[in-house]
Every structure is written in structure tokens, then in C-alpha cells.
Chains A and B, each alone.
Chain A
């Protein structure tokens, strides 16, 4: 380790080549059926900050079929310039044609930073492109920053060693600097329809006959449940003692307009499905309100929810570590508190119909 660290330091001290040909921050947008993934919108928000700090452009690359409308959306969400490649061959994501388009754009445009969501598709594509270019790629980042001009280095930070540490990773000798980022950690800008920008069309050069892969069918997950994008989460842990009490949490979540989350202990016990799990081996969430019920607050759980805006903890153990992270704490028996809370919320709450969702963008799903 120390040897490697030493050499790392030496390497870091090396002079960087002249990278003045490379300018701009590029977000590779992920979409399905003409709808952008929320992680891509979040990246536009974060990318905007980086581009501003570097005094450069924020660009987006949209690939797909019947996706032209997304160009405008990307501008509304922060992009200055959008490259769009729209062709029937690009309808479904497939590594080869998508990476062909990407490489072509990256080679022509020469952005200094390229970012994608660390989703299955994002990781698949980024891994291929980075090898082709070649350049360095940092996976699964949760913090991004840049050093200002002249170094203009991307400081890509990601959890390491099962989230017990964070590491900042640099790429000095290659351009562009690439990273994939976790969903849910960055914030999208509010959709601003007054924003304008440039849209550039990119040709797709790959013919269907040249593409070996065929997407035969897509089986959508039946239940439209998405923890990562939820804005209100009521999460339960081992303190619930069984599957039944989760109904109680569901009632509270329903009353608040949220969804149910869980700790790993509850998931491992088989009380609730894994897709509800928050934490290191579950989802990273960043809701406006997170209510932790019967959860002790192990680090592996905390890393998944500590960026929530407002955290409420309910636990009968006054020394439970979760209270250190919570804005509001209630020491007490959840079986008494939760029904009372649900009743109190219902009593106070009158539902006003929400304004209709924006066009072309889903918040629920990618």
C-alpha cells in the first residue's frame, strides 16, 4: 500500500500534458422510451455547477429513437448544448451502436469531463468507451468537484471498502476524465422552460446488419416502485419484529404520500423485499423526509440515508446511534407511536391535487 501510495504521489506530482484542446462537461443521458432517467437530470444539475466553476459549457448527449424532444428538456434542466443521435437502430440500448456514437462525439467535441449515471446501462457503456479511448474511469461516485483553471482536474470521490472510506480519484494523463455517479446523490435543477441552448444532430453510422445484439423483449418490473427517487420514506428495521408491522408503516407512508423503506436486518429476515433496502448494499436515498422506525442506525444504513433533508428517528432505545443523525427523535415503542402518528397526520392533512407532471420526464422511474 505505502509503496503504491508513494508512487501515486510521484505520479501526481508529474506535470500534466497540455489539455487545452479539451473543454466542457458532457453528460451522457440515459433514456428509455423517450423518458430521461432521473439520474441524468441530477447529473445535469451537478454538471452545471462543475461547468460554471470551470467557466465552460455543459453539454448533453442524447442517444435513442424518437428522442429529439429530450434535447429541449436537457436544456431546461441546465445544458447549454445538446448532441442528439436519433435513429431506429438506436431504439434500445445496445453497447456497440451506442458506444460508436459516443466515441464519435467524444472524439469530435473533446469534452474534458464525461459523466453518466452508475446504472446498469451507464456502467456498461462507460466501461466500453473508457477502454476504447482509452482513459480513466471512476465508478460510482458520490461527490464531484473540480479544481479551477489551470489544472481543471475532476475530483471524483467514491465510497471504497464497503463504504467505510471515501477515496478521491484523479485522472491526469488522459482526457476526457470520466466518471459514473450514483443515482440519488445529486440534485436536479428545477425545470426552467425559459432556458435556451443549441441542439446538434449526430449521425448514426451503424447499420442494423452490423449489430449482433438484438433486444428480444423487455419485461418491466410489474410494481412501479422506486425507492431512490422517493421524496418521503418511512423505513422500518428489526424493531418491527416481523412482516406484519410493515403494513403499519405503509399506512403512515400513504398518509404522507411516501413509500416504505427498510434496513438490511428487516430484509434479511425476509419481512420485506430487497428493493426496499436502504444502505450500503441497498439504495442510496435522499428524500426530503426520512422516518427511521425501529432502526438502530448502523453505519451501513446511515450511508444510504444521511443526506436526507429531514430525518426523524423513532426507537425505544435512547442510546440508539440513529438519534445522532436525526433532526427529531422520539424515544418510545413504535407500536404505540406509529399508529398515533398516522392518525395525527391524517387529521392534519388535507390532500390537494398535485400539479401535473412535466412532459417527457418521469420522476418515478428511468
Chain B
């Protein structure tokens, strides 16, 4: 049976974060924590594979204890088990340190629950917003990596190969590669289902497996948390709104107004640049 790992991060719903206009700081209070929605599309795809072919799904998350809520959500949808990797030592991790810990976690998941065939990540997180953790994990575990996947076309369990559609800026690339593989999911991949009632009950009773730094014997302290993070946030600021002296254009009729605007445009470099010419003057 396939063993699928899904990486799910609990994030503040950054769409709801506001800036205090007086202090220019973030108002985090009251911002709900949610399971990163791209990750849930990864989970949904895993569930579809499970429905179709049979699979065991393990969800992993690195985060503070309240992230348990997101793991419960995954369980309610049909994940089989969930691991919460939590420790103060992991705090402040950037993508390099995060992928290190998640790499170790998935290794341990494989050692304890069986080899892993597919790892799903989200395209990116709402808070980190980098899309780097997925490739990072693939790199650490030496997995094939398929990012920006909008569709899993085929899984050949015998040949251990998988075919997917990657969505790029200019089109769709159909790629086939060997499993084990790491896939990062786009939201176009599927529609996330609604949990059935027995799933909700199961989730309500569920306690995730908790792993701390103690549970990883080979863990290198220098590679985790803030210490293991090469990138440093040196400052944050609120972007100034572009301020320009707006010239309002008004005339008696729409035609006259439009004419005035066109005159203004014709005084710029635009007609030159775009090869417009002043028809009325020719």
C-alpha cells in the first residue's frame, strides 16, 4: 500500500492581518490560525489516491502546540495519523532550518511507519510565502521533486512512476518521474472535501503523535531554529503609498474631457515610444 506524507503548516490567516496605522505594526490579535490552504489541496489529493488505490496518509507539521487544531482537521478529512513536531528549539526557523527538521521528521516517519512513496507540500504558505520548503525537503531526502502541480495524471505502482501536470507561467508541462517523489500542490489541483461526521468524531478524540528535539537522536542543534537559519529579517516597514500630485481633468462634456486627457498623453514620451503619431497634425 502506498504511504503518503502530507506537510501541513498552521498559519495565521495573513489575509486578515491589518496594520495599525499609528504604530505601523501588525495587528495579530484576533487573526485566526488556519491550516495553510495549499497544503489542504495536497491532503485532498492524497485522500483521492487513498480512495482510488488505497494508501496510508501521515500528516506532519512543525509548529507550536496549538497547531494540533490543523492536524485534527486533517484527521477529520481522512488522514490516518498525524505527527506534530514541536519544541521551542525549532522556533524562528527559516526555510532551510524548516526543511531540515521536516526532512528528519519524514525520515523518522518512514522508519517507524514504513517507507514513504509520495510527499505532498503546498505550493507555498500564507505566512512564509516562499515555496522553498518543498524543494528543500526533496533535496534533503534526495527525492524527485515536482513543483506547481495542478493534476496527478497517473500513478504506476508497479513501475513506481508518477505523471503530473505542472502549471508554469506560459503553459502546462506534463512530467513523469520516479517515486518516491515530492509534489507541491496548487489550489487548482482539486476541491477539498468536507469531512464526514465519523471523521469529525474521530478528530475530536484524536491526539497527534508529538515529537520534540529529544526524539531525533542525530539532530544537529546548529541546524535548527533561529541558529540554523541563514536569513535574518533586518527590518520591516510599511510601504509608503505612492504620492503624486494628481492633476484632475474636467470639461463640460465627456468628449471634451477625453480630448483634454488625450492632449496630455500626447505631451508625454508615449506617442514617440509606441509609434503613435499625431494624426491631426500630419
Which A residues are within 8 Å of any B CB, using their own CB? 4-5, 7-8, 11-12, 32, 92, 94-96, 119-121, 123-124, 126-128, 130-132, 134-140, 155, 159-174, 183, 212-221, 231-232, 256-257, 288-289, 299, 302-303, 306-307, 310-313, 323-333, 336-337, 339-341, 343-345, 347-354, 365-366
Q: With A7-B92, A119-B168, A140-B130 known to touch, is A337 a contact of B258 (CB < 8 Å)?
A: yes
Task: Verify B264–A328 contact, CB threshold 8 A.
Answer: yes
Q: With A120-B148, A131-B99, A330-B257 known to touch, is A160 a contact of B236 (CB < 8 Å)?
A: yes
The CB with the most chain A CB atoms within 10 A, among B146, B229, B258, is that of: B258
- Number of A-B pairs whose CB atoms are under 8 Å? 285
Chain B positions within 8 Å of A170 at CB level? 231-232, 234
Nearest Cβ in chain B — how far from A25, in angstroms? 18
Chain A positions within 8 Å of B270 at CB level? 288-289, 310
Measured between alpha carbons, how far is A165 from B26 in the docked complex, in Å? Answer: 9
Task: Verify B250–A344 contact, CB threshold 8 A.
Answer: no
Measured between alpha carbons, how far is A213 from B178 in the docked complex, in Å? Answer: 7
Q: With A136-B230, A212-B177, A289-B270 known to touch, is A326 a contact of B236 (CB < 8 Å)?
A: no
Task: Verify B274–A257 contact, CB threshold 8 A.
Answer: yes
Measured between alpha carbons, how far is A122 from B222 in the docked complex, in Å? Answer: 28
Which B residues are within 8 Å of any A CB, using their own CB? 14-15, 17-19, 26, 91-92, 94-96, 99, 126-127, 129-136, 138-140, 144-148, 163, 166-178, 226, 229-239, 241-244, 246-250, 253-255, 257-259, 261-262, 264-266, 268, 270-271, 273-280, 282
Measured between alpha carbons, how far is A220 from B132 in the docked complex, in Å? Answer: 25
Q: List 23 A-B contacts (CB under 8 A).
A: A32-B170, A120-B169, A123-B130, A126-B132, A128-B135, A136-B229, A137-B132, A140-B130, A164-B18, A168-B235, A170-B231, A170-B234, A213-B175, A213-B178, A216-B163, A218-B173, A288-B273, A312-B261, A329-B248, A340-B258, A347-B279, A348-B262, A349-B271
Nearest Cβ in chain B — how far from A64, in angstroms? 15
Task: Verify A332–B231 contact, CB threshold 8 A.
Answer: no
5 tightest CB-CB pairs across the interface, nearest first? A127-B135, A136-B230, A139-B130, A340-B258, A336-B254
Chain A positions within 8 Å of B174 at CB level? 215-219
Chain A positions within 8 Å of B26 at CB level? 161, 164-165
* A143, closest chain B residue (CB): B239
